[in-house]
């Protein structure tokens, strides 16, 4: 491969990139069948964001996806966006932007390799098997070169894998550590077996929460694939709007996004619906990976005690145990997840900063932050809900 020249091109959308060519790089593990490790960098998911208008003109997420070709054939790709704000990222750089602009700089636009609105760890330097090294090098070089040529303040790769973060840091890009809470499956036979691994007080608290949730006066259903009907998305849109207006001011995703994933991704979805009096009153949207259940959105049109915990956390654990999945990732932040069996884990990102003085300041901040994150993970794990002999590392 050393004597093969690589060509990198930027694309203003996925419409001109064949799904099979993109996915051969994004999820090569599906070539032999089965699910991708995660569905979020697949052509179908990123295209749903674009076709629905959730990203693109007016959204502050303008696609500039990178494709690396060797002998005319794609060997590596990267989801990439020009950002005019820092919303929907979950690796927060608001303070960086404020400090840079107070000093007279212009922080936006910036480049962001990420899955919009999706704080899920996954590969961002996507390459065909055998092209991981040269593909990653070409993508990183192109990312930095595009930012520098356009005099942008920075380029960011968020929620990348630890391996990608290490490789980027070795090339001089700043590495950042953050944390989330994930549930890990220790081979539990059922939910009671999971509870048996917890301290008595935590076990009793979860049982009480589940009993309180069950008393909301209805039933809870888990739907996937053909079980999901258009009317279910009508209900979930109402839930999502309520949550979005309270958390972000306005929802990130458009209503058309849910129509898109109904058409192309129902088999990648687990929809948990709480129904009362014949109508859905609350729900949680999850996506399915090869070994992971990804909790993404929750909402409700009625307020019932503990129903959020049941739909988002306990139903997800139930499903993971029943299907033999290794973990549940329940989204960004939330120390309240710790008491419910979700443990702190590191997440990673990479940051290239153009201005040398600003880069040095950010580097000092990241060093201190990484130490604090490591200490917090250690403390939170120690205070976790598991009995001492059953703690997961």
pLDDT tens for the chain, residues 1 to 393: 667 899 999 999 999 999 999 999 999 999 999 999 999 999 999 999 999 999 999 999 999 999 999 999 999 999 999 999 999 999 999 999 999 999 999 999 999 999 999 999 999 999 999 999 999 999 999 999 999 999 999 999 999 999 999 999 999 999 999 999 999 999 999 999 999 999 999 999 999 999 999 999 999 999 999 999 999 999 999 999 987 666 656 789 999 999 999 999 999 999 999 999 999 999 999 999 999 999 999 999 999 999 999 999 999 999 999 999 999 999 887 888 999 999 999 999 999 999 999 999 999 999 999 999 999 999 999 888 998 755 555
- Written as six digits, the tokens of 375 are 């200490």
Cβ neighbours of residue 164 closer than 8 Å, sequence gap 6 or more: 123, 124, 125, 136, 157, 348, 350
Q: What is the pLDDT of residue 250?
A: 75
Beta-carbon neighbour count of residue 18 at 10 Å?
A: 11
Query: Rounded distance, CA 341 to CA 120, Å?
Result: 19
Look up tokens 């065909």; give the residue: 128
Look up tokens 């299907």; give the residue: 323
In the 8-state DSSP scheme, what is residue 42? S
Query: Rounded distance, CA 191 to CA 177, Å?
Result: 32
Q: What are phi and psi of 92, to 5 degrees?
A: -85, 130
Q: What is the pLDDT of residue 199?
A: 95
Strand 174-184 and strand 343-353: the pairing is: antiparallel
Query: Rounded distance, CA 116 to CA 177, Å?
Result: 19
Q: CB–CB of 110/144 below 8 Å? A: no
Q: What is the pLDDT of residue 297?
A: 93
Q: What predicted TM-score, i.e. pTM, was given to this entire model?
A: 0.95
């Amino acid at each position: 491969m050393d004597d093969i020249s690589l060509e990198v091109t930027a694309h203003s959308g996925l419409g001109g990139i064949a799904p099979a060519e993109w996915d051969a790089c994004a999820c090569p593990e599906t070539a032999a069948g089965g699910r991708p490790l995660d569905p979020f960098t697949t052509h179908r998911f990123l295209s749903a964001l674009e076709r629905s208008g959730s990203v693109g003109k007016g959204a502050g997420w303008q696609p500039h996806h990178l494709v690396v070709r060797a002998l005319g054939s794609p060997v590596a790709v990267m989801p990439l966006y020009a950002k005019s704000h820092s919303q929907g990222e979950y690796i927060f750089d608001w303070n960086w932007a404020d400090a840079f602009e107070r000093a007279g700089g212009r922080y936006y636009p910036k480049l962001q390799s990420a899955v919009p609105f999706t704080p899920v760890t996954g590969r961002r330097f996507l390459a065909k098997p055998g092209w991981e090294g040269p593909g990653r090098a070409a993508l990183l070089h192109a990312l930095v070169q595009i930012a520098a040529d356009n005099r942008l303040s920075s380029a960011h790769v968020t929620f990348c894998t630890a391996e990608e973060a290490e490789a980027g840091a070795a090339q001089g890009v700043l590495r950042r550590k953050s944390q989330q809470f994930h549930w890990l499956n220790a081979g539990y036979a059922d939910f009671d077996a999971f509870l048996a691994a917890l301290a008595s007080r935590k076990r009793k608290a979860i049982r009480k929460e589940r009993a309180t949730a069950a008393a909301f006066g209805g039933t809870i259903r888990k739907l996937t694939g053909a079980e999901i009907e258009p009317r279910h998305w009508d209900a979930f849109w109402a839930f999502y709007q309520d949550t979005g207006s309270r958390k972000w001011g306005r929802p990130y995703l458009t209503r058309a996004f849910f129509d898109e994933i109904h058409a192309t991704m129902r088999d990648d979805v687990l929809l948990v619906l709480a129904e009362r009096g014949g109508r859905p009153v609350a729900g949680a949207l999850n996506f399915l990976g090869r070994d992971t259940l990804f909790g993404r959105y929750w909402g409700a049109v009625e307020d019932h005690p503990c129903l959020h915990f049941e739909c988002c956390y306990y139903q997800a654990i139930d499903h993971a145990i029943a299907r033999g999945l290794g973990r549940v990732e329940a989204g960004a932040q939330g120390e309240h997840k710790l008491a419910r069996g979700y443990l702190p884990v590191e997440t990673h990102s990479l940051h290239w900063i153009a201005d040398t003085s600003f880069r040095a300041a950010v580097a000092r901040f990241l060093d201190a932050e990484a130490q604090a994150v490591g200490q917090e993970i250690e403390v939170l794990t120690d205070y976790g809900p598991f009995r001492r002999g059953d703690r997961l590392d």
